[in-house]
Amino acid sequence: MAMHQSRLARNIWLGIENLLLHKLRSFLTMLGVVFGVGSVVAMLAVGEGASKEALRNIQKLGSNNIIINSVKALEDASSSTQMSMMSMYGLTYLDYQRISESFPNIQQVAPAKLIRKDSRIGSNTLELRIVGTTEQWFDLVPRQVLAGRVFEKKDVDDFSAVAVLTEYGARKLLATKNTIGQSVKIGGDSFEVIGIIKSEAGQAGNLQIPDQQVDAYIPLSTVRKYSGDIFVKITSGNFTIESVELHQIIAQVNSIDNVESTAAGIERMLQSFHKKKDYEVSVPLALLKEAEATKRRFNIVLGSIASISLLVGGIGIMNIMLASVTERTREIGIRRAIGAKRRQIIVQFLIETVVLSTIGGIVGLIMGITIPTIITYFAGMPTVITLQSILLPLFISVAIGIIFGLYPAINAARVDPIIALRHE
C-alpha cells in the first residue's frame, strides 16, 4: 500500500511537471474550471446567506405558532369616509376563549391588544406601542430578559399597573438611570417598570414579527381597565371611532405536523362566528415552507448555470488533453515499448487531467470565497460559506478531471507503439 501511495504521489508529481512545461497553456485551460467553481461557490454563499436570513426571521415568528390578526373588513374600509361612523371589527375576547378551549392541539394562546400612546419618564418622551397581553406572550414570543422580570399570571389577575419595556424603549426614555422599579407614564397613567427585554423587529415574508422596538408589555386586564375597547383616531380632520377587542391572537400548536390542520380549524371556526372577514390567519410554517421551496428553486437555477459553466470548462480541458496526447504520441510509444501497460498510460494521463482540474477547482474555490467576503463587506449582504459549499465544488472539479480526462487518456492508450516510435 505504501508503495502504491508513493506511486500515486510520483504520478501526481509527474503530472504537475508536465503541466508546468506549458505554463500558459495549463493556466488558460484551467480558467474554465476556475470560473465555474468560483461562481458556484460565490453564488451558493450569497444564496445561503439570503435564505439563512429569511429562515432566521421566520423562526422569530415561531414555526409552531399560528398568528391571527384583526383586519378591517373590505366593505368597512370603503365606508370609513363617512364621518363619525363607529366601526366595530376584529377578534374578540370570545374568539380568544374559543381558540384556547376548543383545539386540543393548541398548547398556549396569547391575546394582544395594541394601542399607540405617548409615554414619558421625567422629561423623556416616546410614542410606545402598548401590548396588552397575558403572561403567555413571553412564552410564544421568547426574548432575552435583560433586567428584572416579565409579568406573571398574578399580575394579570390583579390588574397590576406594571410594564415590561424593551431595551430600545428603556434607553430612549431613561437614558442611563437604573430603570427597574421606576415609574413610566403611559397615556395619563403610571406604571411600574418591572423588566426590560430584548426586542426584534422586521419582516419575514409578508408577515410582521410580533414584537417591535417600541413595545411596552402590560397585563391585558390592566389595559382594558384603563383604556377600554374604543379608540378615537383623528386623522387629517377626520375622526374615526374604532372598537377592537383584540388586535392579535398568537396560538402555539403542540407539534409542527398539526400546525396547518389547526390553522384551517381556526379559520373555519372564525368564519362561522364572524359575519365579515375581519381577521387574517397566518402560519409562519407556511412561510418557512415557501422559503424552502424558493431556496430549492434557486438552487436548481444555480445548479443549471453552474453545470453549464463547468461543462464548458471540462470540454476545454478535454480539448487540450486530446491535443496533448497527439503531441506526446512518441512519448507514449516509448513508454509502451519499455513495458508500460495500456492501463498505466490511462492512469498517467487521467492523473494529469485530474491534477489540472483540481488545481483549477482550488483556485476557483479561493476566488469563490473571496468574492462573497467582498460582497458582505461592501454591500452588507449576508453570505454564508458552508462546508458543503466548499467540498461540493472540489468534488465536482475532481469529477470533471476524471470524466473529461477519460477519453483523451483512452486515446493515449490506444496508440500503437510501432507507429508512435516512427512518429516525428
Partner 1 sequence: MADIVRFDNIHKIYEMGAEPVRALDGVSISFQKGSFWAIMGPSGSGKSTMMNLLGCLDRPTSGRYFLEDKDVSTLDDDALSDIRLRYIGFIFQSFNLIPQLTVQKNIELPLYYLGWDAEKSAKKAQELAAKVGLETRLNHRPSELSGGQMQRVAVARSLAANPHIILADEPTGNLDSHTGNQIMDILTGLNKEGTTIIMITHEPDIASFAHNRLHMKDGLVERIEKN
- Tally the C-alpha atoms within 13 A of residue 6's C-alpha that lie toward its C-beta: 2
Q: How far apart are CA 408 and CA 410, in angstroms?
A: 5
- List b or e across 143-176, with b for residues whose CB sees 16 or more CB atoms inside 10 angstroms: beeeebebbbeebbeeebbbbbbbbbbbebbbee
> Closest CB to partner 1 among 172 and 336?
336
Nearest approach, Cβ of 12 to partner 1 (angstroms)? 13
Q: Given candidates 344, 347, 390, 403, which one binds partner 1 under the rule CB under 8 A?
A: 344
d(CA 55, CA 208): 14
Q: What is the C-alpha separation between 88 and 73, in angstroms, rounded?
A: 10
Q: Find the binder of partner 1 among 55, 180, 340, 402 (CB under 8 A).
A: 340
Nearest to 90 by CA among 280, 283, 284: 280
C-alpha distances in Å from residue 327, one per residue of 12, 316, 323, 373, 415 = 20, 17, 6, 42, 12
Is 6 an interacting residue with respect to partner 1 (CB under 8 A)? yes
Note whether 317 and 401 are within 8 A (CB): yes
- Least distance between partner 1 and beta carbon 340 (Å): 5
- How far is 238 from 257, CA to CA, in rounded Å? 47
Give me the least distance between CB of 391 and partner 1, in Å please.
32
Identify which range of 117-125, 182-190, 226-234, 414-422 contacts partner 1 by CB under 8 A. Answer: 414-422
Burial class (CB in 10 A: 0-12, 13-18, 19+), 392: middle
What's the closest the beta carbon of residue 402 comes to partner 1, in angstroms? 22
Spatial CB neighbours of 214, under 8 Å, sequence gap ≥ 6: 126, 127, 128, 129, 166, 168, 169
Under rule CB under 8 A, residue 347 binds partner 1 = no
Which segment (272-280, 319-327, 351-359, 413-421) binds partner 1 by CB under 8 A?
Answer: 413-421
Residue from 213, 286, 331, 398 that binds partner 1 (CB under 8 A)?
Answer: 331
25 binds partner 1 (CB under 8 A): no
Cβ atoms within 10 Å, residue 112:
28
> Total residues at the site for partner 1 (CB under 8 A)?
24
Binding residue for partner 1, selected from 60, 113, 247, 336, defined by CB under 8 A:
336
Interacting stretch for partner 1, rule CB under 8 A, among 179-187, 253-261, 271-279, 336-344? 336-344
Residues in the chain: 424
CB of 382 to partner 1, least distance (A): 49
Residue 56 contacts partner 1 per CB under 8 A: no
Give the one residue of 342, 381, 392, 394 binding partner 1; rule: CB under 8 A. 342
Considering the complex, state which of residue 382 and residue 417 has its C-beta at the smaller distance from partner 1: 417
* Residue 21 engages partner 1 in binding (rule: CB under 8 A): yes
Q: Which of 37, 35, 41 is nearest to 383 (CA)?
A: 41
Smallest separation (angstroms) from partner 1 to the CB of 32: 25
Task: Note whether 120 binds partner 1 by CB under 8 A.
Answer: no
Which region among 36-44, 295-303, 327-335, 371-379 touches partner 1 (by CB under 8 A)? 327-335
Asked if 79 touches partner 1 (CB under 8 A), the answer is no
Cα dihedral 106/110/113/114 (nearest 10) = -110
Residues 226, 187 contacting (CB under 8 angstroms)? yes
CB of 313 to partner 1, least distance (A): 25
**Residue type at 212 in one-letter notation:** Q
1 sits near partner 1 (criterion: CB under 8 A)? no
Q: Does 330 bind partner 1 (CB under 8 A)?
A: yes
CB-wise, 148 or 333, nearer to partner 1? Answer: 333
The CB-of-423 to partner 1 minimum distance in angstroms stands at 10
Terminal C-alpha separation, the chain: 39
Write out the residues near partner 1 by the rule CB under 8 A. 3, 6-7, 10, 17-18, 21, 330-331, 333-344, 417-418, 421
